[in-house]
Amino acid sequence: MTSSSPSPRHASVLDLAPVVPVVVVEDVSDAVPLARALVAGGLPAIEVTLRTPAALDAIRAVAAEVPEAVVGAGTVLTPEQVAASVAAGARFLVSPGWTDGLLAAMQASGVPFLPGVSTTSEVVALLERGVREMKFFPAQAAGGTAYLRSLAGPLPQARFCPTGGIGPECAPDYLALPNVGCVGGSWMLPPDAVAARDWRRVEDLARAASALRR
């Protein structure tokens, strides 16, 4: 990413683990045990999406109580959400797309960020602005591995975290690409396991996902 490192041992969130869990927290009391299960399974970078009223409180709780986690905010759409996420303790930011205003706010935030792209022109526009690490979204619908493979030749300096429709079956195909650092997904967080607070199952699924290294 183009800003400060999320960890002194890693240059980028893209390099923390092969999979970044994309988490939707409905009940803030689930945030800490869920994060601990993911970290125990080998997935320390956790994207909490700003899709629920509990999201910012969830980020705040994980940042305070699970120091081994690198918690970030996802579905960041506005400069105001950038500020609120960083104030809550987010250590990276992810957006499904970008505008000049949103990009400026993320660049000024002091934390790493992944702006979303789905076209070659968007990638080139970000490269022109000094941004080399991006979210490719919605990955499967936007062309999948074939599309990203075709970008590697003319735009080798761009690196991606593909997200959207990715599961354990196709994740290794993405991770085999030279311009993919990690993938985003939620398959290690099945709704029934989260509803039952079956954190052991979440940990087991996270461990399997963390083994999907190239």
Q: Which residues are catalytic?
A: 47, 135
β-pair partners for 70: 45
What does the alpha-carbon distance between residue 89 and residue 92 come to, in Å, rounded to a whole number? 9
Question: Do 206 and 40 form a contact (C-beta atoms < 8 A)?
Answer: yes
For 116, the token pair is 């979303």
Of 187, 146, 149, the C-alpha closest to 166 is 187
Q: What angle do CA 106, 143, 162 make, to 5 degrees?
A: 40
> Could you say which DSSP state residue 15 is in?
G
Q: For residue 123, which phi and psi values (nearest 5 degrees)?
A: -60, -45
